[in-house]
Each structure stands twice: as C-alpha cells, then as structure tokens.
Amino acid sequence: MDKIRVKGGNELSGEIKISAAKNSVLPIIAASILGNDKVKINNAPMLEDVYVICNVLEELGCNISLDKSSKSITVDSCNIKPINANNELVKKMRASFLIMGPMLSRLGYCKLSLPGGCNIGSRPIDLHLKGFKALGADIEIGHGYVEARAKKLIANRIYLDFPSVGATENIIMASVFAKGTTIIENAAEEPEIKDLADFLNSMGAMIDGAGRGKIIIEGVDSLKGTEHTPIYDRIEAGTFMIAGAITHSKIKVMGINEEHLRPVIEKLKESGVKIEVSEEEQSIVVDGRNIIKSVDIKTMPYPGFPTDMQAQMMSLLALANGVSVITETVFENRFMHVSELARMGANVKIDGRTALIEGVPKITGCEVKATDLRAGAALIIAGLSAEGETDVTDIYHIDRGYVDIEKKLRSIGADIERYSVD
C-alpha cells in the first residue's frame, strides 16, 4: 500500500497547473452514452474515479479508448446493452449512480446496487429517484438493488427538497429525450452542472438555465456525438491555493475560473492572504506571507463555500491567529480529519456540525490516515507546514481525485514523495 511522506517547512514558489474537474468529467462520461455517435473528451484527468466509470460503461458494452498521454477519452456506446452493471465496480464509487439517468433515458432500464453510506455521511438517493418517478419511471428497491424501468419518459415539473448535485445531473440526463418541457426547481447551481449541460447541448440537447436554480429541458428525439473540453477543477485549485497560504509562500495557480473560486478567494482574503487574479491568463497568484487570521466558515451548496474545501481550510485555520468556527451544513459526518489533525497538534473541538478551531503556533508531523479524498488532501497540506515528517496513509482516497498530487507539489518546491510499503 502506498504512502505519501511530506517533510514540512519548505517555502513554495513557481507555477502549478490545474487539471480538468473530476466532478465534471464523471457525469459527462456517463452522459456520453446518450449520443448516437462517438464522444471525445479532451484534457480528461487521469484519475481512479474516471477509470472506474469508464470500466462500468465497458462492462455495459461501450467501447472506451483512454489515451493517457494525450489525456483524451473516447466513448462509443453503439453496443450498450440494458444489463446489470458490475456490482463491485458500482460499489467502489458512489458517482457510478450517475449512469442511472442516462441508461433510463437511452435504454429504458437500469439496475444498480444501492449506494451504501460512505465516510462522510449516509448520502441517500431519494431525490434522484423522486426525479425519475416524476418522469414516469417505475422504481423497485429490494435485495440491495434499485431497478428503474420506463417505456417512455414524459416531461414533468420537479422540485428538489435540497439542491443535490448528483440528483440534478441525473434528472437532466434522464429528461433529455422526455417529450415536453421538464423543469427542475431548486436545482443545484454548481459550475459542473453548467458544464454537463453545455456538453449535452453540444450534442443537440435543449437545456436552459443550468448553473441557476431553475433548469428547463425541452425533450429532443436524439443526440449526436461531440467533442468537449471540461472546466478546470476548482477544488484542486483551491487546495493548492491553501498549500501556498499555509507555507507562507507566493505561488501561481494556472488554470482557474475566478467566478468558480469566488467563495474560496473571499475567505482566503479575509484570513489575510493576498490574491491576484488574471482573467486573461486564467491564473491566480496567492501570497500567504502575511499572518493568517481566523475566519468563520459555513459550507453551503454553490455559490456558498464548498464542502469539498472544508477540510483543507481547517488545516490552514489550525495555524491561524485566533479562533475560527467551521459549520458543515452539506454532509452530516464530514469531520473525520479532525482527529488526524489533532494528532499533529491542532486544537479543534467538535460539537455536532460545528468545529471550533483554536489556532496554534505550530503543528508536528506524524503518521496520519486519509479518511476520505478531501481529508487526505488536508493532511498533505498540513504536512507541508508541520515540523518534521508527516506520513499520510490510505492515499488511494487521494488518488481518486487529485492527478499526481505529489509531483505537482514537488514541482513548486515541496519535499514530498510517494513510497510503497509491503
């Protein structure tokens, strides 16, 4: 099993390049099966989660060519069959559930293993199913599976009780061929949803309003193939911005969209980090050489502060001047990193969904466990500023969502390496 070892204390400098957004690419690969011709995705991030969704589609009969050197993925779904998806693969990644909408739309059938709980919460799928039912699908749940069937999907008006990212995406994909006008209200507004809609529209879909709370989909008869370059990964960018801040360094993050990062930029500025954006170059210079001040944060659906940046921000605030409060409103159990940060010397108290972080002057390296993807990134970041060596274990979580994290950080001066242990 691999570990990542970080030796803290190096000042970082130079440029770091951001990959395309994992959370855009996963639904886009799932949506590729809606076309009647090949789909090509450019600049795809070569990540474990991306390989898993490609394998799920291959098992269903799709022909996928994944070229790691040119970072392109081509999906040919001519031979896709309405068979059960590979259970082991689906269980590996919750986002596999994103194939249900497009399968239902294209083949009128989909049976998937019910996603269980995960480290950050129970993560139900009731809103996805509410949407499918509203479009006319029959849903049966039993023996650990969810089975959806529909001879024909018909447009409808769907109100989401919570702006779920996955449910919004799944319902968009399920409704592209539904006769009439589908309206999704209280839809999630994350940039990755607009990216999915842009991709589907380039195939001939008629989706309006994606990226806002009300999305309108006019059903079309068919979709063609397309070529698409996904948006940059705002969470990877935010993670590296915090790496710059926590090491009191000045670095340039290349490949950003300022609007997508606004909530993170604003909080970093409030904590005393200097930020300079070049829209033309799509870059941000982060200067963390000032003292870092405490700030309060509440995670919210976009455009609020992203839950996927909460753990990394906690690493920074653990070393800030003063007491910060972080309230996690999106997932019910997303403080697993706290006990690991505490082993490094952070002073954090949890009360329900709130964490109270009293900044300390220094933290020290030790062996810590990545309990989920973003928690793992937070521990690497903490390690960059800790005294001595930090060994992060269970890094398969990190590999699900960060392309070559140690290579990228090493390129800007971090003392970080991956090594295998038997």
Structure tokens at 200: 């589907």
Q: Is 330 annotated in some ligand binding site?
A: yes
For residue 159, state whether it binds ligand UD1 (rule: CB under 6 A). Answer: no
If the CB atoms of residues 23 and 55 are measured against ligand UD1, the closer one turns out to be 23
For residue 53, state whether it binds ligand UD1 (rule: CB under 6 A). Answer: no
If the CB atoms of residues 159 and 419 are measured against ligand UD1, the closer one turns out to be 159
Strand pairing category for 297-298 and 347-351: unpaired
Alpha-carbon span 261 to 258, nearest angstrom: 5
- Nearest CA to 308 out of 242, 383, 215 is that of 242
CB 127 within 8 A of CB 161: yes
- Nearest CA to 195 out of 41, 409, 390 is that of 41
Q: How far apart are the first and last CA of the chain?
A: 6
Contact stretch for ligand UD1 (CB under 6 A) within 72-80, 159-167, 270-278, 351-359? 159-167
For residue 116, state whether it binds ligand UD1 (rule: CB under 6 A). Answer: no
For residue 124, state whether it binds ligand UD1 (rule: CB under 6 A). Answer: yes
Q: Which of 164, 239, 271, 315 binds ligand UD1 (CB under 6 A)?
A: 164
Torsion of CA 120, 126, 131, 132, to 10 degrees: 110
For residue 167, state whether it binds ligand UD1 (rule: CB under 6 A). Answer: yes
Question: Residues 54, 78, 110, 118: which is the catalytic one?
Answer: 118
Using Cβ positions, the residue closest to ligand UD1 within the complex turns out to be 166
Q: Which of 9, 121, 303, 388 binds ligand UD1 (CB under 6 A)?
A: 121
Structure tokens at 351: 């009360």
For residue 125, state whether it binds ligand UD1 (rule: CB under 6 A). Answer: yes
If the CB atoms of residues 26 and 56 are measured against ligand UD1, the closer one turns out to be 26
The single-letter code of the amino acid at 209 is G
Contact stretch for ligand UD1 (CB under 6 A) within 116-124, 151-159, 176-184, 210-218? 116-124
Q: Is 317 annotated in some ligand binding site?
A: no
In the complex, what is the shortest distance from the CB of residue 189 to ligand UD1, in angstroms, rounded to a whole number?
11
In the complex, what is the shortest distance from the CB of residue 127 to ligand UD1, in angstroms, rounded to a whole number?
3
CB 46 within 8 A of CB 71: yes
Q: Is 308 annotated in some ligand binding site?
A: yes
Q: Can you give the C-alpha Rg of the chain in angstroms?
A: 21
Torsion of CA 123, 218, 99, 71, to 10 degrees: -110
Q: Is 22 annotated in some ligand binding site?
A: yes
CB 35 within 8 A of CB 225: yes
- Nearest CA to 146 out of 104, 92, 174, 193 is that of 104
Structure tokens at 403: 């392309």
Residues 184-223 that bind ligand UD1 (CB under 6 A): 188
Alpha-carbon span 16 to 420, nearest angstrom: 25
Omega within 30 of 0 (cis) for the link into 124: no
Contact stretch for ligand UD1 (CB under 6 A) within 126-134, 224-232, 259-267, 309-317? 126-134
If the CB atoms of residues 130 and 252 are measured against ligand UD1, the closer one turns out to be 130
Residue 366 falls in the annotated catalytic set: no
Residues 65-94 that bind ligand UD1 (CB under 6 A): none
- Nearest CA to 237 out of 8, 19, 395, 413 is that of 19
Q: Which residues bind ligand UD1 (CB under 6 A)?
A: 23, 26, 95, 121, 123-128, 162, 164-167, 188, 307-308, 330-331
Binding-site entries for UDP-N-acetyl-alpha-D-glucosamine: 94, 123-127, 308, 330
Binding-site entries: 22-23, 94, 123-127, 308, 330
Name the residues annotated as catalytic: 118
